[in-house]
A = this chain, B = another copy of it.
Amino acid sequence: MLFSKIAMEDYITSFLIEDTGFTGDITSSFLQGKRIKAHLIAGESFTLAGTPFFNKVFELLDNEFQIKWHLTEGQTVYEGDILCSMEGKETALLSGERTALNLLQHLSGIATNTRRYTKVLEGTRIKLLDTRKTTPGLRYFEKYATRIGGAWNHRMGLYDAVMIKDNHIKAYGSITDAVNTVKQNVPITVKIEVEVENWPQLHEVLNVKDKVDIIMLDNWEISEIDRAIEFIRNKINHAKIEVSGGITLEKLAELKTKDIDFVSTSKLITGAKWVDISMEVE
């Protein structure tokens, strides 16, 4: 998993604190703490994602909590499926239920939505990418979920890859200045991507073509994309090509035959809805 264990546990602890504050769960705290059983039921069809985080919620509340999953991460779930059987302290179960389900429903929603897009590209070598448009505080969870849905991660944050966009070009003065300055300073392991919105920008990339690893065609007309691809493949032949901007399922279908490497869209995450899962105490 692309998530440090230490960071992940810190996040989930903070989610529990968000819900319990100082006073704790004032509905369940006065129970004896006997062990009880429960299970999860799918209220609709979806792609399951987030089970390691779901497990961690209860592990943090009761280190003898047991969860047995009947379906695995990434599997398609159908309405009425029993997803898992659980057994643990009643106080842990009742206090952790909402936090654990919120994670599972949100992340499964993202995986489910992502799969709608990745299916379109099946059979091609084009990789579908997520973006940095993620819910603040949930970046690493949501990027985990897009992978479960079949997508690939673009950079994780501002710190692990360079992406020169329109606003950076304005601030640095030109693509040439931006790429040269950045390349001069970043670790040698960092890839550099440039977002180009038009032909003049694409031509300017030639000045620094050896330093550019990925070229993103942002919001280009489908009709222009073929010419742009041809230009890049001829002039800057080692660079990867990414297409982005207003990606719909229809547009994706049009792109699947192109000689491109990546398509990226924030919609995998921002257009997702929670799936329906409920917990039943036995």
Contact = CB atoms under 8 A, between A and B. Distances in A.
B187 A31 contact: no
B154 A189 contact: yes
A198 interface: no
B156 A23 contact: yes
Interface stretch (A67-75, A200-208, A222-230, A267-275): A267-275
Contact of A135 (B102, B127, B166, B184): B102
Q: How many copies does the complex hold?
A: 6
A253 interface: no
A240 B15 CA distance: 30
Interface in A218-260: 238, 240
A15 B27 CA distance: 26
B182 A26 contact: yes
Contacts of A98: 132-133, 158
B164 A102 contact: no
Contact of A21 (B7, B11, B26): B7
A1 B33 CA distance: 12
Q: How large is the interface on A (under 10, 10 to 19, 20 to 34, 35 or more residues)?
A: 35 or more
A181 interface: yes
A215 to B, nearest CB: 13
Given A167-B97, A187-B2, A103 B158 contact: no
A76 interface: no
Interface in A20-42: 20-31, 36, 38
Nearest to A269: B274
Interface on chain A toward B: helix, strand, loop, or mixed SS? mixed
Nearest to A29: B1
Nearest to A190: B26
Interface in A172-196: 172, 181-182, 184-191, 193
A123 interface: no
Contacts of A190: 26, 160, 191
B30 A4 contact: no
A23 B171 CA distance: 20
B159 A21 contact: yes
The 10 closest A-B pairs by CB, nearest first: A137-B137, A161-B189, A270-B274, A4-B24, A153-B187, A21-B159, A15-B136, A25-B158, A23-B159, A167-B281
Interface of A: 1-7, 11-31, 36, 38, 61, 90, 93-95, 97-99, 101-103, 105-106, 127, 129, 132-140, 147, 152-164, 166-168, 170-172, 181-182, 184-191, 193, 214, 238, 240, 262, 266, 270-271, 273-274, 279-281
